[in-house]
Amino acid sequence: MPEEIGLSLDILEALLNILEFLALIASIITFFVLMLNQFYRALKKLLAPYRLGFWTRIRVLVLCRRSPLKKRAFLEFALLKTGGRGISSSQWQTLINEFKTHYTEDGKGLVYVLENCMPLLGEPFAEAVRAYFRFFDNAKVRKAFGMQEGDVLHWVTKLRIEEAYATPTCLLTGLLARYEENWEDFIGRYVSTAYITDTDESGETRILSNELYMTFAWLLWGPSYELEYIRYWSGLCQLSFGDESNSVPAIAAPSVAPAVAERFQANVGRRYGELMTTDLTVYEGEEYLKELRAGILPEEVYFYEKIKEQVPFVLQIDAFAPREGYKAKKYYCTAYVWILFELEDEERYDFQPENSLAFFEHANLTDMSVYQFLTDTLLNKSILHFERVFSDPKYAQRKYRFVCAFNKDIERKFVEAYQRRAEAGDELASAFAERVILHPKRLPADAFAAYDAFFSRKSQYHYTEVNLADRGTITDLATFYTEIYMECFPDPDERESFDNLLRYLKKAEGEKAYSYHIVLAKDGDGTIIAGGIFDYFKHSNCGVIEFIAVRQSLQSGGIGSAVFRHMFSVLSGDSFKNGKKKLDYVFCEIEDPAVNQVPVKKYLHFWEKYKFRRIDMQYIQPALSGVQKPVHGLWLTVSASNGIADEIPVDVVLNVIADYMRYAMGIAVPACNEEYQKMARELSANASVRLLPLIGE
């Protein structure tokens, strides 16, 4: 009997050991399943930094186990509740209980209500959302969470802002935002710039130090600029609470934008903007803006790109309702009203931030009487300043040129006020007529981009135009040619010889019918990092960008965009000298993607961003020399001044091709050129030719 009991105990012990072993195996398997579970990984990666502990993560894992939609909804709910900041364990328990009430099992009606935009502001929340989108930037992860391939990444949770003051403006980056509120850097930059100004003996070529101060003060908190919304608008606006600095960028969906613009226009006589309740979808900014590019005017691309600098997301306005009642009538939202000038320099066409002058007033946009009073004060302030300058014989040769204003209303009032001042009949009237130039010679975006570069801590780009009289620039051109240009143009038939470039420079000297430019970009250490060649043809008032080449190790870093903006600024200067307000068209040759074997067509996205479209024709580049062949694998693309053209007159295309052959390729009589004749025969059947999208034909 004792032996039987002992045997039973041994068997029981063995069974217990087996069960313990199986439990251990099950625990290990469960552990690894948890670790490999995409939702658990998301909880750990996205929410553990905000003190979501292990056991709480397990609780959430069980709570959301059956629904991929519920999993995403919890992540988004938690980011909104925490604001990207750590909370205690008890607060996490409360948050989970609130989520149970917030979420409906059918997943419909997922709306998170905010009183105003303030919870969406600040770097902690931005970084939390940035991490969310980075996590989902993976095909396997998206599939695990039930996302459709090809969809633009967005939140499943909708936002509703109860009090959003919407204005058709873009908030520009303030200096403190760039310098992370580092006053030492800000003051140091001002002092160093003012020192250069004060030590300039001539007093004519530099802005005055008191003028420089006003510009720095204006930029300090970041002013806003109004986008065109009456004629053509892609929906960009600000949703503010109390002040423009308390705002988030938003884009009205195409179905909503006309109604929003109508509200803005209807309010012009009684207030600026519209107080509304908005329903919003949160999109990943990069993907969303790529989808939107086709509808953005070229001169406004800069402002939409600014969104990515401010926040990693785009808020799309899906619906809105104007707020009514006493509170809406007495609501206020403040912003700068301003007007910007530059010291006129007839030899320069690039905008110099250190030679700019801003006048500004902080106005209540929702009270039209205050808005108009401070707009008048703004204009009177600027006139008073110029009266003092023009009264001083020391500054007898100084001239100022208008750049832009907060909006077209202030610009119109500025022109009227200065014309009246120039007709006043006193001794300073002629000074205002001759020394305040009312017509800008650049786009506002060019000036704002120049401020970005001037106040950036990153290596600043310096541009040098190659000049035969300056041997140093010729040496730089040789460096660019051998180190960058030849790598970017491996096909010998597409590549100009170095001797040809020098010959074109020589030929352009003294020419009045066209301008030929070779511009090189250098970094802060003086290293050549990029360059480009472009032409302006006076007869057609068109520019041609022959190419932009960036050092291969630095490509996709924004250098090409910076070079393009500089080239466009120079071309705009050529157009201005020709008595035109703006360029009619800008043309560019790019490689046909059917011929180009690069798998990712990044260059198409680059040119599409600036509203270039393919001309529906078989373009042939004539042979560049007697030993080279014509090139057939190219597209001729064009960007219209308004950016929304669907066709272009044939005579414009043929005139530009002829000028391009004559001046940029050295073909004396284009009409006798075989390639030109082929293109002319193809195009001459119609008065205009279609413009096709670069992507998604």
The confidence score (pLDDT) of residue 236 equals 94
The confidence score (pLDDT) of residue 34 equals 47
The confidence score (pLDDT) of residue 29 equals 45
Give the SS3 label for residue 293: helix
Q: Which residues pair with 436 in a beta bridge?
A: 400
What type of residue is 300?
E
Domains and CATH numbers, the chain: 16-105 (no CATH), 110-173+224-331 (no CATH), 207-221+334-444 (no CATH), 458-692 (3.40.630.30)
Residue 352 has pLDDT above 50, yes or no: yes
Supply 112's token pair. Answer: 């998170």
Where helices occur in 255-401 by DSSP H, the ranges are 257-266, 285-292, 301-310, 326-330, 368-390
Question: Cβ(316)–Cβ(283) under 8 Å?
Answer: yes
What type of residue is 676?
Y
Instruction: With cut-offs at 50, 70 and 90, classify the pLDDT of residue 685.
Output: confident
For the chain, what percent of residues have pLDDT higher than 90?
Answer: 43
Supply 80's token pair. Answer: 């909104």
Query: Can you give 97-108 as a three-state secondary structure string?
Result: HHHHHHCCCCCC
Q: CA-to-CA distance for 361 and 676, rounded, in angstroms?
A: 57
Q: CA-to-CA distance for 108 and 513, rounded, in angstroms?
A: 64
DSSP for 653-673, written as a single string: HHHHHHHIIIIIS--S-GGG-
The confidence score (pLDDT) of residue 36 equals 45
Q: CA-to-CA distance for 195 and 189, rounded, in angstroms?
A: 10
Give the SS3 label for residue 315: strand
Exposed/middle/buried for residue 34 (C-beta within 10 Å: 0-12, 13-18, 19+): middle
Q: Which of 130, 146, 132 is nearest to 76 (CA)?
A: 132
Supply 668's token pair. Answer: 């004396």
User: Could you give the C-alpha distances from 430 to 342, 421, 425, in angstroms and in order?
Assistant: 19, 9, 8
Tell me what the mean pLDDT of segment 442-452 comes to.
Answer: 86
Instruction: Give whichever of 31-35, 195-199, 277-281 has the largest mean pLDDT.
Output: 277-281
Q: Which of 364, 366, 335, 368 is nearest to 269 (CA)?
A: 368
Residue 286 has pLDDT above 70, yes or no: yes
Instruction: With cut-offs at 50, 70 and 90, classify the pLDDT of residue 203.
Output: low
User: Could you give the C-alpha distances from 285 to 312, 314, 425, in angstroms and in order?
Assistant: 6, 5, 55
The confidence score (pLDDT) of residue 180 equals 52
Q: CA-to-CA distance for 247 and 261, rounded, in angstroms?
A: 19
The confidence score (pLDDT) of residue 182 equals 58
* CA end-to-end span of the chain: 90
Q: 201 or 25: which carries more pLDDT confidence? A: 25
Q: CA-to-CA distance for 531 and 481, rounded, in angstroms?
A: 9
Question: Cβ(350)–Cβ(570) under 8 Å?
Answer: yes
Query: How does pLDDT run across 491-532, given as a tens digit for each residue?
Result: 776 778 888 888 888 888 878 888 999 999 988 778 899 999
Instruction: With cut-offs at 50, 70 and 90, classify the pLDDT of residue 626.
Output: low
The confidence score (pLDDT) of residue 16 equals 63
Supply 278's token pair. Answer: 């908005």
The mean-pLDDT minimum among 33-42, 76-85, 142-151 falls in 33-42
Supply 435's token pair. Answer: 């020394």
Q: Which residues pair with 290 in a beta bridge?
A: none
Q: CA-to-CA distance for 383 and 36, rounded, in angstroms?
A: 69
